[in-house]
Structures are given as structure tokens and as C-alpha cells.
Amino acid sequence: MHYTPRNTFPEQPDQDDSPVGIVALWRLLWGNKLRIMVPAFILTLLTAILVLRAPDTYTAEAQMLLARGNLEIVEFDSAGDAEVTQGAIVNALTILGSRSLALQVIERLDLTNDPEVNPNIAILADDPEAEIYPDSIVRQFALDWLASITQVSILPGTNVIVLRATTTVPEKSAAIANAYLDAYLDYQLQRGQSETERAAGALRTRVNELRLRLEADQALLQDYSASATSTAMESTSDLAGEAVNVRARLESTQTSLDQLNAALAVLDATPEGDFEAVRAAVDQNETLLRMERTNLGRSVGAETVAQDIETLRAAVQAERSRFEQLNAALRNGLVAIEERIAEANAFMVGLRQLEVEVETTSQVYESSLARLKELSIQTGLRDAGAQILATAEAPLRTDAQGRRRMVAIAAVLGLFIGIAHVLVREAANDRVRRVSELAEITGSDSIVQLPPAHGGKGGKNTSGTLDLSSEEASPFLDGIRALRHRLVASADVTGPIVAGVFSSVPSEGKSLVTQALAHSFAKIDRRVIVVDGDMRSGALSKSLGVARDHPGLHEVIAGDVDPSDAITTLDGPGFDLLPSGHSQVNPADLLEVERFSQLIEALRQRYEIIIFDTPPVLSAPDASRIATHLNAHVLVAGYDQCPRPAVRETVAALETAKVERHVVALCDAPEAFGKNYGASKGVFARYWS
């Protein structure tokens, strides 16, 4: 088969290749308006039936303003603050929707004895001996019923809570809404008082504990002060001064010891017989000079130098011994003073700690006592934390607006469902709808778009056949004329044209195109015959009014009838017809016998145009057998009817039949180019003059 690459096609606009936008979406939705309107109509109708069958309902509304009050425990000096936190609002809404509050409403209004709530009443009315539901189940019925008929909301930007109740009795709706608010106020009042009393009780216990602790701390402080010794009571500043004096004396004594040790070291280092050395050593040491004056009363003599040295050494050693004893006594005294200071400090620290504990306990006790007094006063001032702005009144009108709203919502929902169905169907649609798709799949460079053949002149009539009696302009017939020109050009032969019209699946418009194409050739004075090659169904023969028992192609190939006896002339369309005929032999086998080729050769001798209407290529092998005997081929694809894979398989099947060129006709194309040009009789008449 001859294929033309896609990029060699001339650039031309393709209406279906336009990007998805508002216009494309509108065309899609408008073209599927029935698919959209049907679910909307059905859903609206069902909703209207359900709404009309339901009993009339009445909605009563009550409003309540939240204040701070019992919504939370607050400080006494800020109780007048009217600000309500978001958490308090959520808490109030939760309480209004709670099971406990609903049980209070049931008890207040005695709803368990309401026939609308309690099924036992109807059961006993029918059969007094019948088994009834237990009280717990009836109570649950009442709770579920209340939950279904009540609605709690808050006005945006305010602290106003709106409660609505909807029942079939106006007075009951108002009573339920008011009962809810009354139960809420009672609950909040009791809850506030209970919380205040509980807080006061806990604080009272704390105050007693603090009082006992304060008394214990004060007793401990007195006992500690009484148990202190005279040493511990001494002033730490006096003891510190005494320690300073002792440290000074100890330092002085240590200095004197160092000097005496240095003097003894000098005496030990000086030769005893060397008077000059002794004299020099004594003169250089102040301690030795002092000892010389106080112990010898004179200077060291040259004759008595050895005796004088011993006297000085003995005096220095005696004085050193005395200073060492003094040094030891001072050190012992300093240790004793430091111990007394440590004892006094420890006592003061303990005393200060006890004083701080007593002071702290006293402050906490006084603060708790004051808070207890505030709570005692607050207990008598608590309120419900809310006030009723408007009580519910029995409504005078039914909720008709709500019913209309439900019907409108159902209609809109139905439209959305229909649109969603169309969009999903569109997304999953793999059928041929674009010229570019046909060109890519078939490889053909000759594609004709045929507008729909609508009823009336120039289109299908009420019997389903093509109405060819009019000379008026018809977009469909103009498309057939274009197809005729393409077919003649694709045949490229000098003798008769033997053409076949093919399709992938049934109901794509193949037989309609065959009939219109034959009529178009007949209009230009060509001898035309149409052969109904669909021997399995004979759809074309039936549509042209040929009797079922009339002999046709089947009988001619089988050799039972002469072709001239089977061919019938159609006066209206202007062409001859060889019907399909009828037989019990499989048509695929008949088409392979030699008599079929002989029949085609005989028709070529009598006619200029021979057109075969074939069965669908993918339904039976007959079409492929017929295609091998033809010199022109038309492939019909129904717009939005034939899947793309089916067209590919059809092209492959024709390729096996040695089909090299073919013209493609896109039937029922909604946007065929120029389909309305010259359609007006007054404008088009000049082309016929």
C-alpha cells in the first residue's frame, strides 16, 4: 500500500485539532446535551417526587448570646470582662450537641410518649399483645430523632448561637428549640456553681494545710532559737576581729622565729677561734647584736671569743624555744576561734532559712485565704454564662423554600453528574474524530469530509434511504461530488472504474456513501451499476426496495442465474443494481471462484462505473476478497463511531489485498469545511442556470 508521510501533508487547519478551551468545551457539552440533561432531569424528578411525598415540616429558631460567666473559671477582679474565647464557644456548641443535654430535653418534653418518636405506641395500637421495644431502645430512638431534627450553629463574627428544630408540628418545633436552651442554661448554672464549690473546697483544704504548716514552722523557729548556745549567739564580727588579731600576732611570732633561726645559722657557720669573723658576723646580724647587748653587756672579747659565742648561742636557743611555744599557743587559739565562727555561721544560716520558710508560708496562707473569701463571694454571683436573645415561636409557614432548594440542588447535581459522564467518556473515547488521525492511521493523502445527510431533500428521507429527487444544494451531496473527483483521480485508469466502498465496522455510512456516489456518477451521464457485495445482510438491496427473493450476486456467481436476469434498473437514482441475492453457501467461498472474475469482466463491458458495496472488513473476509478485483477503493470511517485500532486493522487487511491507493471518507463530520456555502436556493440557483 502506498503511504504518504504525515509531515508531507499541506499545512491546513483542523477544527478538531484545536487546543482545549472554552469554545471546544462548549462544543463538546452542547453536542452531548442529552447525556447531560437526562441525569439532571431524572435526579430532579426523583427528588421532587420524594419531596412532594414527604410531610410538611416547620422550622423554629431560638437565639442565645454567650457571655463569659460560667464558660470558664475567671479571676474575681475580671469577672465583668465580656470577652468569650474561641475555646469557650466550641465548648458551648459541644454541650448543646451532647447526649446528656438531649436526654434532659427528652425528659422535659416527655418525648418517649410521642407517637412520632416512640414506635411502641403504633405497635400497641395495632396489637395490644405484640412485643414492643425496651425503654433503652426507645430512648435511643428519641436521641437519634432529636439529632436528625436539630441544628446548632453560631453567627459568624458574633457570640450568638442559633438553634433550629424542624418537625411536622409547629408547636413541637418551638418547644424543642426552647427546651434545648433552657436545659443548656440550667446545665451551665449548675456546672458553674459546682465548679466554684469544688474549687472553694480544694482551696479550703489547702488553706488548712498552710495554716498547720505555718504553726509548725513557727514552733520550730522558737525551738531552734531557744536551743542555741552562748557561743553560737556570739557576734560573728567580734570573733572575726579576734581572729584577725591572733593571725597578726602569729605572723609576728613567725617572723621572730625566722630571725632567730637565721642568727643560729650565722653562729654555726662562723669559726669559733677567728675573732675577726665572729665580730663581722655579729655586726651584720641585728638579732646577734641585740643578744650581745642584753646577755653579755659588752662586746665579744678576743680572749673570750669561744665562751662568748656559747653564751650567745644559748641565749638565742632559749628565746627561740619561747617563741615556738608562743607560736603553737597562737595557732591553737586561732583554730578555736575559727570553730566558734563556723558554729555561729551555721546557726545563723539555719535561723535565716527557718525565718524565710515561715515568711513564705505566711504569705501563701494569706493569699489563699483571700482567694477563698473571693470564691465564697463568687459562689453567690455565678450565672449561666449566657442569655436568651429570642425564644422560638411556632412557625406559621412550612419549609417550602427548603424543598425548592433541595430540588434545585438535585438539578445542579444532576448536571454535574451528566457533565462528569461526558468528560469521562470523552477522555476514554478512542474513536476517529479528526482528519489528522485518519491521515496518520491510513497514510492516505486524499481525505474527504462528508457532513451529516439530514432528513428531507438532499438527505435521508423517512424510510432511511437517500432522497435524490431534489436539485437543491446539499452539503452532503457536495461532499459526495468531491469524493467522486478524488475517486476518479485515485483510479488513474482509462477504462471502466471498478470501485469498492469499505468500512471497518457496521453502521458507519458505507451503504449510504455507495448509493450517493453511484447517483453522483449517474448525474454526469455515466453508465453506473451498484453491486451489493454484502451477501450476508443485503442491507443496500433492502434499503432500495428490492424483494428478498429477487436473484442477485449470490445466484449469479453460483451459476444459477444469468447476470442480465439478476440486474434491475432503478429509475429514480439513475443507476442499475445487482442485488445481494440469497443462498446457503458461504459468500467467502463464492468470491474465490472463477465465475466472480468473469462477472466483473462482463460488467466492465457494459458499464463505465462499477461500485461494490462490501460487508465490514473486520466482520467478514468477503471485503478483502472483493478488494483484489478492484482498481479504486473508498474507505468509509464514521465520525465518533469507529475505534482507531479498528481502522488500523482495516488498513492492514486491505494492504494484504494489494490495495495501494484509496480515498478516505469521514462520514457525519460535524465541522466539514464550507459545508454551508451556497446552501440557499436563491444564491445557489445561479449555478444551475
Residue 673 pLDDT: 55
Band (16; pLDDT cuts 50, 70, 90)? very low
Residue 75 pLDDT: 42
Enumerate the β-bridge partners of residue 570: 575
CB burial string 491-522: b at 16+ within 10 A, e below: beeeebbbbbbbbbbbebbbbbbbbbbbbbbb
CA distance 145 to 61: 18
Any idea which residue has 451529516 for its cell?
452
Residue 687, pLDDT above cutoff 80? no
| Residues 358/217, Cβ–Cβ less than 8 Å | yes
- Sheet with 609-613: list strands edge to edge: 447-449, 663-667, 632-638, 497-503, 609-613, 528-532, 575-578, 568-570
Residue type, 280: A
Band (203; pLDDT cuts 50, 70, 90)? confident
Q: Which residue has the higher pLDDT, 344 or 447?
A: 447
Any idea which residue has 441525569 for its cell?
39
Band (498; pLDDT cuts 50, 70, 90)? very high
The total number of residues shown for the chain amounts to 689
Residue 32, pLDDT above cutoff 90? no
Q: Average of pLDDT values for 576-597?
A: 85
CA distance 418 to 638: 25
- Which of the residue ranges 213-227, 601-615, 628-642 would you say has the lowest mean pLDDT? 213-227
Q: Output the CA–CA distances (angstroms, integers) from residue 101 to 96, 98, 273, in the order listed.
A: 7, 6, 124
Residue 575, pLDDT above cutoff 70? yes
- Which of the residue ranges 256-265, 522-531, 595-604 would you say has the lowest mean pLDDT? 256-265
Band (10; pLDDT cuts 50, 70, 90)? very low
Q: Which residue has the higher pLDDT, 230 or 117?
A: 117
Q: Average of pLDDT values for 19-36?
A: 78
- Give the DSSP H/E element, type plus range, for residue 18: none
Highest mean pLDDT among 316-320, 577-581, 671-675: 577-581
**For residue 293, with 0-12 CB atoms within 10 Å meaning exposed, 13-18 middle and 19 or more buried, which class applies?**
exposed
Residue 377 pLDDT: 61
CA distance 325 to 309: 25
Q: Output the CA–CA distances (angstroms, integers) from residue 523 to 477, 617, 661, in the order listed.
A: 11, 29, 25
Any idea which residue has 453522483 for its cell?
520
| Residues 661/499, Cβ–Cβ less than 8 Å | no
pTM: 0.50
Residue 176 pLDDT: 92
Residue 528 pLDDT: 94
| Residues 576/605, Cβ–Cβ less than 8 Å | no
CA angle 490/495/498 to nearest 5° reads: 60
Highest mean pLDDT among 18-27, 156-165, 269-278: 156-165
Residue 151, pLDDT above cutoff 80? yes
| Residues 624/591, Cβ–Cβ less than 8 Å | no
Residue 532 CA neighbour count, 13 Å, CB half: 33
DSSP 382-413: ---SEEEEE-----SS--HHHHHHHHHHHHHH
Q: Output the CA–CA distances (angstroms, integers) from residue 180 to 117, 188, 391, 644, in the order listed.
A: 17, 12, 11, 66
Q: Average of pLDDT values for 142-166?
A: 89
Residue 89 pLDDT: 85
Span 334-374, pLDDT tens digits: 888 888 788 777 777 777 777 787 788 778 877 877 776 76
Residue 634 pLDDT: 92
**Cβ neighbours of 127 (radius 10 Å):** 9
CA distance 605 to 602: 5
Residue 613 pLDDT: 93
Residue 478 pLDDT: 85
Residue 289 pLDDT: 78
Residue 266, pLDDT above cutoff 60? yes
Residues in contact with 146: Cβ distance below 8 Å, sequence separation at least 6, in sequence order: 102, 105, 106, 111, 176
Residue type, 484: R
**Cβ neighbours of 277 (radius 10 Å):** 14
Question: What average pLDDT is seen over the chain?
Answer: 79
Residue 520, pLDDT above cutoff 70? yes
Residue 192 pLDDT: 73
CA distance 644 to 651: 11
- Here the contacts of 356-363 (C-beta below 8 Å, separation 24 or greater) are 357/217, 358/214, 358/217, 358/218, 358/221, 361/210, 361/213, 361/214, 361/217, 362/214
Mind listing the domains of the chain with CATH numbers? Answer: 32-56+405-413 (no CATH), 59-75+87-196+385-390 (no CATH), 230-342 (no CATH), 435-687 (3.40.50.300)
Any idea which residue has 438539578 for its cell?
411
Q: Which residue has the higher pLDDT, 302 or 590?
A: 590
